[in-house]
């Protein structure tokens, strides 16, 4: 069975499905790999930003990505990370001791589509 919703994959992994847990492990590994690669080529990066559906709503994923990258200057505040879920607004979720801020920034894709369409209609 294929699932494109990470919440479903997490539920399946919690129920003991090995393939779902493997999918989560691979997903987290790839995100860490890309975050580390970007930080390597952008020296002095000021922030790592989680956004959109998964980035805004999955504190476990943020911990899985950022936790192992502490040596790159990112350290989560567990309470702030858990509190920054849903449409609460932008939040800083690092503990303030690292060299790179970690943020959760909500998106509104529908609003952006409307803005783009309005721009094209005015052109």
CATH of the domain at 77: 3.30.420.40
49, 54, 90, 106, 108 from 111: Cα distances, Å: 20, 18, 17, 12, 5
Whether the model clears a pTM of 0.75, i.e. scores above it, the answer is yes
The fraction of the chain above a pLDDT of 70, given in percent, is 98
| Average pLDDT over every residue of 49-78 | 93
Tell whether 1 is covered by a domain: no
What integer pLDDT is reported at residue 1 of this predicted model?
61
Find out whether 80 and 108 touch, Cβ atoms under 8 Å: no
Tell whether 88 is covered by a domain: yes
| Average pLDDT over every residue of 72-94 | 89
| Average pLDDT over every residue of 27-42 | 93
Would you say residue 17 has pLDDT above 80? yes
Q: Which domain holds residue 78?
A: 6-122
DSSP letter string, 38-71 = HHHHSTT--EEEEEHHHHHH-HHHHHHHHGGGGG
pLDDT-derived band of residue 26, with 50, 70 and 90 as boundaries?
very high
- Indicate the number of domains in the chain: 1
Q: What pairing do the DSSP bridges indicate for beta strands 101-105 and 47-51?
A: parallel
Give the pLDDT confidence of 84-98 residue by residue, as tens digits: 987 677 899 999 999
Tell whether 45 is covered by a domain: yes
Q: 10 Å Cβ neighbour count for 12?
A: 18
3-class DSSP assignment, residue 104? strand
Tell whether 29 is covered by a domain: yes
| Average pLDDT over every residue of 14-41 | 94
| Average pLDDT over every residue of 23-38 | 94
């Amino acid at each position: 069975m294929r699932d494109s919703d990470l919440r479903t994959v997490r539920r399946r992994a919690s129920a003991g499905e090995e393939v779902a847990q493997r999918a989560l492990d691979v997903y987290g590994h790839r995100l860490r790999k890309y975050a580390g690669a970007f930080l390597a080529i952008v020296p002095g990066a000021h922030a790592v930003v989680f956004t959109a559906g998964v980035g805004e709503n999955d504190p476990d994923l943020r911990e899985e990505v950022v936790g192992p990258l502490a040596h790159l200057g990112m350290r989560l505040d567990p309470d702030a990370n858990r509190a920054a879920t849903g449409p609460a607004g932008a939040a800083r979720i690092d503990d303030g001791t690292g060299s790179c801020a970690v943020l959760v920034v909500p998106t509104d894709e529908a609003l952006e589509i409307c803005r783009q369409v309005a721009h094209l209609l005015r052109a």
